[in-house]
Structure 1
Amino acid sequence: MLRSVALFLALLLSACGLFPKEMEDTKAWSASKYYTEAKSELNDGNYAAAIKLFEALEARYPYGRYAQQAQLEIGYAHYKDGEQALAIAAADRFIKLHPNHPNVDYAYYLKGLANFNDDLGLMGIVTEKILNQDMSERDPKASHESFENFKELVNRFPKSKYAPDAVQRMKHLVNVVALNEIQVARYYMKRGGYVAAANRAQYALKEYPQTPATEEALFIMVKAYDALGMTDLRDDADRVMRKNFPNSRFLSDSTGTNGEPWWKFW
């Protein structure tokens, strides 16, 4: 028994002796060595390993360009790893610590990207890419925040190389938020909440004009006012819709050709 215990302790001490050597080797790395190894892990998709190395770099060499770049890379690694909140936190930290850094525009851009893809995760990515879920069916909070992030980037750094992409994403996000209002209006229509549906559709028209949501917003207003017996408002909305969307699919399919209620169009 004592012999077994002695053998176990000998093996344990031998194993423990390996770790100081590994730690000593790593501690001997230069800042550039840390950065190179971390970037290699990042490029290979080993995001957790990359983050640990970038964090070790910053802890070992807290000052200088490598540490600053590591802070940005940590945010990007979290973003690629699907950790949107951690990516945003890293970007916010970088902005706070280095507001005048030449690459601070990327931190704003990264925040926008993280919010743009917020609430996806693994299952969200599968749904978005494979099942083609409409972004407007998701919680609009992240879309609003993403828009504001990109807007701040474009306003602060209009000549940034990330600005053109940010502008395109902002245009898309406006459409997304507008369609989200339509999703809510549809919900009210299907449940007989005609006043709420009309108000939501009207809000979409006012706040997000000239978006793809406009056509359906007008259609919902026509049907909601009709159900409420508000014929003047119904006719006004119908006139505007027919003038702007004479070939609208809603006009051709709204009469219930299959004998079903019109709201089953959706």
Structure 2
Amino acid sequence: MSLPRYKVTMLALTVGLATAFVGCSSNPKKDVVDTGPKSNEQTYFNNAMKSLDKGQYGDAAKALEAMDTYFPTGQYAQQAQLELLYTKFKQKDYEGTIALADRFIRLNPQHPNLDYAYYVRGVANMEQNYDSLLRYTSLKQAHRDLGYLKVAYQNFVDLIRRYPSSQYSVDAAQRMKFIGQELAESEMNAARFNIQRKAYLAAVERSQWVVEHYPQTPQVPEALATMAYGYNKLGDKATAQQYIEVLKLNYPNLVKSNGEVNLRAARKEASWWNRATLGILGRGDKADVSKDANMSNEENAETSANTEQKSSLLNKMTFGLLDRPNREVSAEPARADESLYDSQRNK
């Protein structure tokens, strides 16, 4: 009995595919043989600098990596490693940037530009926290895992502690200020959740952490109000009253006329319509913290004023993906003190 036509066709296809796979497996790729450097160190370095000046980071990375492989103790070895730091960052290879920075710090403890490696490492860790789709939305970054931000904060602490007069220390301090606000907001987000589930002691502890470790952040008023509210719910009226007195002196609008803490005002809670639509609609005007650490105070004030405007309906309905204001984290470290290398690059 003959097979149906469709079964014959399927059998033929199966045999053909099996033959193709067998043929591929029997003809493995040849191993790539490293033939060594194709030019001298000076040529590699000049080509890398030309590529960097043109923004051709892929070509620059190849030349610099070749220098790192073939001339590890050459005249331009350390300079090439610093340039590769910058190149990897521009390619958004943040893990590679951090690994290179760690290696440079470990191998060159007395290098005059070691502060640059500390700085770029911190910025790269900072960028890793935002390197996802959420950085292009209006969703709060502080409500996500902030592990990379905590590492970046410590990186900047190390930089300022070791090199307080570094040209990068001012920018690092500004970034620390922003990170502190993000970390404080994360703590307060947890405190709000604990209040909702009536875990008042946990909410108090979160708030106390904000007051003690992030005293200059905008979350402090809410933290004090949460502590007063939490202690009152725990039955510690005396401690609650102490915090209410602090609120009366510093934030009188957060205390009601009957002497109770106005936790809703402290949170600046959105309307029920805002909560019902997961924050898309009904949101009040709230200025975002300026995320450009390279701006002056005047520029920050101007940017904050501009971001106070309401987002458009298109921005809200697309969760901030479209028609969004420009408020991304600025993370564009310049190349390491180029003036030190100008004379050698022009050779």
Q: Same fold (TM over 0.5)?
A: yes
Contact 1:82-1:122 at 8 Å conserved across structures: no
* Distance in 1, Cα, partners of 2:141 & 2:77: 36
Shift of 1:153: 1.5
Corresponding residue for 2:47? 37
Shift of 1:258: 11
Shift of 1:107: 0.5
Corresponding residue for 2:91? 81
For the residue of structure 2 that corresponds to 1:63, the secondary structure is coil
Corresponding residue for 2:194? 188
What is the aligned-residue identity percentage? 35
> What amino acid is the match of 1:54?
L
Query: Once the two structures are superposed, what CA deviation does each residue of 1:158-193 show, in whole Å capped at 9, x if it has no partner?
Result: 222112212222222223322221121112122222
| Superposed counterparts of 1:136-151, under 5 Å | 136-151=142-157
Corresponding residue for 1:239? 245
Corresponding residue for 1:6? none
* Distance in 2, Cα, partners of 1:178 & 1:204: 6
For the residue of structure 2 that corresponds to 1:117, the secondary structure is helix
Corresponding residue for 1:174? 180
- Establish whether residue 93 from structure 1 lines up as the match of residue 103 from structure 2: yes
> What amino acid is the match of 1:126?
Y
Q: Choose 44-53 or 101-110, whichever is displaced more.
A: 44-53
* Distance in 1, Cα, partners of 2:269 & 2:64: 63
For residues 158 and 64 of structure 1, do their structure 2 counterparts lie closer, same or farther at Cα, with a shift above 3 Å needed?
farther
* Distance in 2, Cα, partners of 1:113 & 1:258: 33
| Superposed counterparts of 1:196-235, under 5 Å | 196-235=202-241
Contact 2:45-2:80 at 8 Å conserved across structures: yes
Which blocks of at least 5 consecutive residues in structure 1 are unaligned?
1-18
Shift of 1:136: 2.6
Contact 1:221-1:237 at 8 Å conserved across structures: yes
- Establish whether residue 111 from structure 1 lines up as the match of residue 121 from structure 2: yes
> What amino acid is the match of 1:211?
T
Corresponding residue for 1:159? 165
* Distance in 2, Cα, partners of 1:157 & 1:254: 42
For the residue of structure 2 that corresponds to 1:29, the secondary structure is coil
> What amino acid is the match of 1:111?
R
For the residue of structure 1 that corresponds to 2:76, the secondary structure is helix
- Establish whether residue 120 from structure 1 lines up as the match of residue 126 from structure 2: no
* Distance in 2, Cα, partners of 1:102 & 1:148: 21
Shift of 1:101: 1.2
Corresponding residue for 2:299? none
Aligned-residue Cα RMSD (Å) equals: 3.6
Query: Once the two structures are superposed, what CA deviation does each residue of 1:190-215 show, in whole Å capped at 9, x if it has no partner?
Result: 22222211121122212222322210
> What amino acid is the match of 1:236?
Q
Q: Hey, which bits of structure 1, 4+ residues long, moved more than 6 A? A: 255-260, 263-266
TM-score, normalisation: structure 2: 0.60
For residues 259 and 121 of structure 1, do their structure 2 counterparts lie closer, same or farther at Cα, with a shift above 3 Å needed?
closer
As a proportion of its length, which structure holds more helix?
1
| Higher RCO (CA < 8 A, seq sep 6+) | 2
> What amino acid is the match of 1:222?
A
* Distance in 2, Cα, partners of 1:154 & 1:65: 29
Corresponding residue for 1:64? 74
For residues 87 and 205 of structure 1, do their structure 2 counterparts lie closer, same or farther at Cα, with a shift above 3 Å needed?
same
